[in-house]
Structure 1
Amino acid sequence: ARGEGGWWELVTDKVQPGDGYGFRFDGGKVRPDPAARAQGGDVHWLSRLVDPKAHEWRTGDWKGRPWQECVFYELHVGTFTPEGTFEAIIPKLEHLRETGITAIELLPVAQFGGQRGWGYDGVLLYAPHQAYGGPEGLKKLVDAAHERGIMVFLDVVYNHFGPDGNYLPEYLPEFFHQEISTPWGAAIAYDEAPVRDFMIENALYWLREFQIDGLRLDAIDSLPFYNSDAADELHL
C-alpha cells in the first residue's frame, strides 16, 4: 500500500527470517532491497529477511573505553584469516589484546560485488558482506571483541557507490547528481532530505544494531556537504 510521503509498505505475517525478497518495477527484473539487512548471496541476488533481535548479546552493557586508551589495529576481514570471515577473527582477538591493541577498525564490510575486495565499492550499505558471514557473523565478532575489552570501529563509505550491483538509480534517479562528479562517479544528492535520512539512518544502524563503537568516514572531502551547513545535520 502507498503511505505518506510516497513511501510504499507491506505488512504481512507470511514471511520469516531467512526468506528471500526483492522489488520489481513495472514488469522489470527483481532487484535487491537497497536497505536490506542481508543478502542471500551476491549483490544481484534476492535480499534476505533478518530478525534484528535474534542475536543474544553477552555484552549488552558495554560502554566502550576512554579515547586516550585507543590503540588501533586496521583489519581487513577478507585477508586477516585464511577463511576470510568475521567469526574466523574471534580466535585471534586474544593475541591482539596481548599485543596491546584496544580497538580494531574494520575496513568497509557493506555488501559489494564479488567475494573479496577492499570494500570501498559497497552498494548495499545496510547488509554486512555475505561472504564474510553476514549480520550474525559481525554481531558475534563485536560481542567477542567487547568481551575482551576491545572496541570495534567501522570504516564506512558515504561518498559514492560501487559500479557492480548499484540499483539505486532504478529506485530513485534523483539519489545522484549527474552534474556533480566525484573521482568514482556521480555524486550522491545530499541536498535531498530522503537521501540524507538514508545515510544518517545507516550510521545509526551500525551503532545501535551492531553495537559498533564508532565510524570512520572515508574521503569526506569528496562529500558534497563537506564544509557546508548540511554537515551539521549529519553530525552524530
Structure 2
Amino acid sequence: MTKKIIERLKNYQIEVDESRKKELLLLGAAHLKRQKKRTSYLELALFTIRFISLKTWLIQFAVLAISLLVILNNTPGLIYTLIKNLTGLLIISLLFFMEELFKSFTSGMWELEQTFKYDLRQQVLVKLFIFGFIDFMIVLSFSILTNLLFRFSFLSMLLYLLVPYNIVCIVLFYSLSCWRNSGNHRSAWFVLGMALSILFVALNLFNPYRMAVIYWFLTYLMSLLILTLLFFKQVKKLTAGGM
C-alpha cells in the first residue's frame, strides 16, 4: 500500500461489538469441544493402532496359536502343568506388549512424539487399554476353553492367570522406573529377571494352587490396586519429561 492509502484508511474507524465478539468466541469454543468429544477418542485409537509394529502383532498371534495347541493337547490329569505353561506364554505376550508400549522411551523418541497432535501421555494410555483388553480377552478365552474341555473351574483359571499377570506388570513398571531414574539398562533387566525367576520358582516349589480361591481373589484385588496406583503415578511423570 502507498502512504496515501494508509493515511485514508486511518480515518475509517470500525466499531467492534464486544458482546457479539465474545458470544461468537464462546460459540466457537463450544463447537470445538463437541467435535473433540465426538471424534477424538476414536481417532486416537485408530491413530495408535496404525503405529503398533507388525512384529508385535505377529508375535501375539504366534503366542496365541501355541497356547491353543498346548490346551488342545493337554490331558485332564495335568491341568496344573497346563496352567503353568499358559502363565509362561501369557508373560511372554506381556513382555512384547510392554516393549511396544514403552519403545518411545527406550528409543529416545518421547521428546519428538510430545509434539504430535496427540501427546505421548494419551498414546501410552490408549496403547495400554488396547493391550490390556487383548490380554484380558485371551485370559478369558483360555478360562472358558479349559472349563469346557476339562470341567475346570472358570473362576479359578481366571485368577490363576490374572494374578501372575498383574504381578509381572507391577515388576515391569517398577523396572522401567528404575531404568529411567538411573539410566542403567542392566539394573532394570536384573530386577525383572530376578522377579520372574522368583515367580516361577514359587509356582513350581510351593504349589500355590492348593490355596483357597478366596486368597487368590484377595491377591488379585491387591495386585490390581497396586498396579493401578503405580501406573497413574508413572503417567503423571510423562508431562514432566518422561517416566
The normalised TM-score by structure 2 is 0.29
Report which of the two has the higher share of helix. Answer: 2
Q: By percentage of residues, which structure has more strand?
A: 1
